[in-house]
Homo-oligomer: A and B are copies of this chain.
Amino acid sequence: MDTQSRTSVLSRSPFFRELDPRLIELSAQEAQERKLAKQDVLFQQGDEATHHYVVVWGRLRLDQATPDGKNIVLRFMGPGDLLGSVAVFRGMPYPATPVAVEETALLSWSAARMMVLMQENPPLAMRAMGMMGGRIEELQARLQEIATQQVERRIAATILRIAGQSGRRTAEGVEIPFALSRQDLAEMTGTTLHTVSRTLSAWIEEGLLEGRRSSHLVILRPHRLVEISEQA
């Protein structure tokens, strides 16, 4: 990928958007490129945090392994999302493992280099804080859901959240444009794949969703799903 197309990618990413064009071009020049095939791992939970990454295209699932061998899905990351920075800033090991769910390209910068870029360009640091703040609010919202709502509402809210982050509007409704398994949803909502499967089956029956048997999910009646996620 040449500098120009990198620059144009970064200009549209939430992280660099509307910052000084010279900063963007400099960052684009200095970035290293990384490509992942489906199922590839960007880094392992527990590895020393050495780089900041921005997703150029593709999609990753951020997995966190628990001490007792279970797994939870923290979120999915798509184009423009920032990865690794939390750990780098803390000087701690990466707390999760990003796995490509489709072919994915990223740009990366070393911790030291990004530190200099930020110190020399305070708006970039402010932007990073804004993105971290967004992550905190999302996590707080999920904590609230999982702590207070029953499973059906949590599944509805989770599908809506993913649709909001990655959904594509189509003729029939809103499509989630990657393979999102029942197991993934279970690991995002703190339930079992059995319960997710039953719940989605009911919704598909009801004509609310489409996507039996591992095809991409399509939300046919988003408004109804919102109702479920908000039902008393």
Binding site for B on A (CB under 8 A): 64, 66-68, 70, 72, 74, 85-87, 89-92, 95-96, 115, 118-119, 122, 125-126, 128-130, 132-137, 139-140, 142-144, 146-148, 187, 189-190, 230, 232
Task: Name A95's contact: one of B74, B135, B137 (CB within 8 Å).
Answer: B137
Contact of A89 among B133, B147, B230 (CB under 8 A): B133
| A70 CB contacts on chain B under 8 angstroms | 148
Q: Which residues of B contact A92 (CB under 8 A)?
A: 133, 137
Closest residue on chain B to residue A116 by CB atoms: B122
- Are B86 and A143 in touch, CB under 8 angstroms? no
Partner of A132, one of B118, B119, B132, B230: B132
Q: Which residues from chain B contact A143 at a C-beta distance below 8 Å?
A: 72, 74, 139, 142-143, 146, 190
- In the complex the two chains form, is B130's CB within 8 Å of A89's CB? yes
Bound together, the chains give a CA A196 to CA B133 distance in angstroms of 31
The 5 A-B pairs of least Cβ separation, nearest first, read A147-B190, A119-B122, A139-B139, A90-B133, A89-B129
A130 touches B72 (CB 8 A): no
Instruction: For residue A169, give the distance in angstroms from its CB to the closest CB of chain B.
Output: 25
Residue of B89, B115, B140 touching A139 (CB-CB under 8 A): B140
When the two chains form their complex, are residues A95 and B140 in contact, meaning their CB atoms are under 8 A apart? Answer: yes
